[in-house]
Amino acid sequence: MKTIIIGDIHGSYRSLKDLLVLCNFDNKKDRLICIGDYIDGWNESVKLVDFLIKLQIESNNNHIFIKGNHDKWFLDIMNKDFLNFENKELIKSKYHYWIKNSGLSTYKSYLSVSKSKREFHRASFFSKLKNYHIENNILFVHAGFDTDKSFYDTIAFDEDSLFWNRTLFHKAMQIWNLKNKRSNNIAFFGGFKKIFIGHTPTCNFGINKPILMHNVINIDQGCKIHGSLTGWILETGKYYQTKKIDPNNLNP
């Protein structure tokens, strides 16, 4: 069995399918840990979530799906205004910030399906997403945590940091740069052996592959913005990346 850690997918069903082929994924043997942000970007959100639900049902292992900030956004909207979801004027006005930040593609995708399908996805996927996952002293979390506090203090006092706070990656990268792009692979942050995060596309900083920065590995290489989707094999440290999507072939 191998464990494949997957970065932010952002509605790109096509990228996920390509990545699983590259990783030689076998749903009967292997396990996925997805770092969050399944929606808001490309226009295949419903198809993607259908596929992830199917993988979980048919798997011999328990896939781990972490909640991202975009997933939390969408779940909050579904919980607060499920009955008003088809009221376009209300949704676009009340949740204009979500719409502006790539939520429109997800909204259109879910408007195209039945109310029962939306309810099924809410109950069977979005409501079951984990805020974080820890195993063998390895932390899997979408954004990170407040580095001025411990990880567990962050959970107790500011749990939203798990979905939004970028300081963990920025501090890890800053120290990595000061050490001339070297990492000594120590438990520098939080006392964890490793910390896998997404949320902040590394391509925004000229980094197009996942790099171990002390004990932090950011596996968001910008799939949402025409970058690559990354899959990291936990047992070997090897990673695979999809080709960048041509926006002329699949419009977000």
Q: Are 18 and 223 in contact (CB under 8 A)?
A: no
**3-state SS class at 5:** strand
CA quadruple 38, 127, 22, 214: dihedral, nearest 10: 80
Domain ranges of the chain: 3-241
Q: Are 157 and 165 in contact (CB under 8 A)?
A: no
Q: Are 222 and 207 in contact (CB under 8 A)?
A: no
| Half-sphere exposure (Cβ direction) of 117: Cα atoms closer than 13 Å | 11
* Contact residues for 251 (Cβ-Cβ < 8 A; gap 6+): 43
For residue 252, the model assigns a pLDDT of 43
Is the pTM higher than 0.85? The answer reads: yes
Q: Are 87 and 151 in contact (CB under 8 A)?
A: no
Spans in the chain with pLDDT lower than 70: 185, 187, 245-252
For residue 218, the model assigns a pLDDT of 98
pLDDT, one tens digit per residue, over 42-66 is 999 999 999 999 999 999 899 999 9
In CATH, the number for domain 3-241 is 3.60.21.10
Signed CA dihedral, 88, 36, 65, 59: sign only: positive
pLDDT, one tens digit per residue, over 21-45 is 999 999 999 999 999 999 999 999 9
